[in-house]
Amino acid sequence: MTKAARGSLLSIEHLQASEILALLKLTRRMNPLKPRPLLRGKRVVLLFYEPSTRTRTSFEIAAKSMGAITTLVQSSGSSIEKGESLLDTGYTLRAVGADAIVIRHPNAGAPHLMAAHLDVPVINAGDGMHEHPSQALLDAYTIQRHKKSFKGLQVAIVGDILHSRVARSAVHLLTKLGAKMILCGPPELLPEVAASLAPGVRLTRHLEDAVRGADVIMLLRVQRERLAGLKIKLQDYIDRYQMTATRLKLAKRDAIVMHPGPIIRGLELTGEIADSEQSKIVQEVSNGVPTRMAILARAVGKAGK
């Protein structure tokens, strides 16, 4: 195994705070409406082993708007379906001239495997339950537009943290930048071991406890099929963990509500919350484009050199 190629983005955990801040700074310089052709002639392969709307389209738009050629490879309709291994697929993509590979995969660590064997930058677009670095960066970018500083910011993440790559990346990123993290959920979705993820992480089983005095509240999607497997009653979850207007009043007056999507109204949050002034859910999606422009520019563009 060798080191990942320069410009790769495999996880937030192994980034320095300075690298994160540099990416956020680069994001601020990206204008999706007036993009610079930083990736002209570059070939960016989007290798998606899992369905995705937001992440895939925003990576694609980010790459294309900077002049790159993009190709989408999905498990169905490709050699993956015929049993080709991940590494062989990687070697094939390298052979056709990929300058960067953006990969979404159901197995944790799949991007690391690819990066260890290929000499092109690999960008993790979500690997199993592990990490989702670009989501954490776009969330940080979103927070930055509403809050003065990350230092001392009180951030609550609510819901299925055990299975969430979004939560893992967010905890790493925001902790590195000085925020205070509170994780909230039932034991089945938030085991005690979660507190070991980063220094200072606090757990609570009570939503009120998590929300009180919070600056940022990040909600996670509830996956009904998982709840069924874990024998948690949906109504119990709603009673205890649904974000409602009443509960939100416990947070700071200028608190913002975030969600990586897709949201399920009436489950983890009420429709009223989703559409409220404090909700930045739609803004997160738009922020995905400049964030991913910055990630790609760092990986293969002139800005990264």
Partner 1 sequence: MAVAKNKSQGTLLIKGGHVIDPAGKINAPMDILLRDGRVAEVAPANKIRTSADEKFDARGLIVAPGFIDLHVHLREPGQSYKETIASGTAAAAAGGFTSVCCMPNTVPVVDRAEWVTWLKQPERGAVVNVFPIAAATLASKGTALTEFRELQRAGAVAVTDDGKPILNADVMREALRQSAELNLTVVQHAEDTRATQACSMNDGPPAFRLGLRGMKASAESAIVERDVQLAQQFPGARLHVAHLSTADALKPVRRGKRSKARVTCEVTPHHFTLIDENVGEYDTNFKMNPPLRSAADREAILVALADGTVDAIATDHAPHAAHEKQVEFERAAFGITGLETALGLAISKLHREHRIPLTRIVELFTAGAARVLDLRGRGSLTRGSFADVTIFDPKKRWTFEAAKSRSKSRNTPFDGWQLTGKVIATIVGGRVVHRIE
- DSSP classification of residue 16: -
110 binds partner 1 (CB under 8 A): yes
Total residue count of the chain as it appears in this document: 305
Residue 196 engages partner 1 in binding (rule: CB under 8 A): yes
User: Of 37-45, 53-61, 186-194, 254-262, which segment contacts partner 1 by CB under 8 A?
Assistant: 186-194
Minimum distance from residue 71 beta carbon to partner 1 (Å): 22
| Interface stretch with partner 1, choices 54-62, 65-73, 103-111, 239-247 (CB under 8 A) | 103-111
Whether omega before 262 lies within 30 degrees of 0, making that bond cis, reads: yes
- The verdict on 117 binding partner 1 (CB under 8 A) reads yes
Q: Which is nearer to partner 1, 191 or 271 (CB)?
A: 191
At 302, list the tokens. 């002139």
The stretch near partner 1 (CB under 8 A) out of 110-118, 145-153, 179-187, 263-271 is 110-118
| Among positions 60, 99, 127, 284, the unique one binding partner 1 when judged by CB under 8 A | 127
160 binds partner 1 (CB under 8 A): no
Pairing assessment for the beta strands 43-48 and 100-105 based on DSSP bridges: parallel
The residue type of 82 is: K
* Candidate residues 24, 39, 93, 113; the one interacting with partner 1 per rule CB under 8 A: 113
State which amino acid sits at residue 22. Answer: A
Q: Which amino acid is at 2?
A: T
168 versus 176: smaller Cβ distance to partner 1: 168
Structure tokens at 289: 């484009």
Residue with Cβ nearer partner 1 (67 or 109): 109
CB of 118 to partner 1, least distance (A): 12
Choose among 170, 129, 137, 172: nearest CA to 289.
Answer: 137
Size of the site for partner 1 (CB under 8 A): 27
Site for partner 1 (CB under 8 A): which residue of 32, 67, 128, 213? 128
CB neighbourhood size of 180 (10 A): 19
d(CA 185, CA 35): 41
* Cα–Cα dist 33/41, whole Å: 20
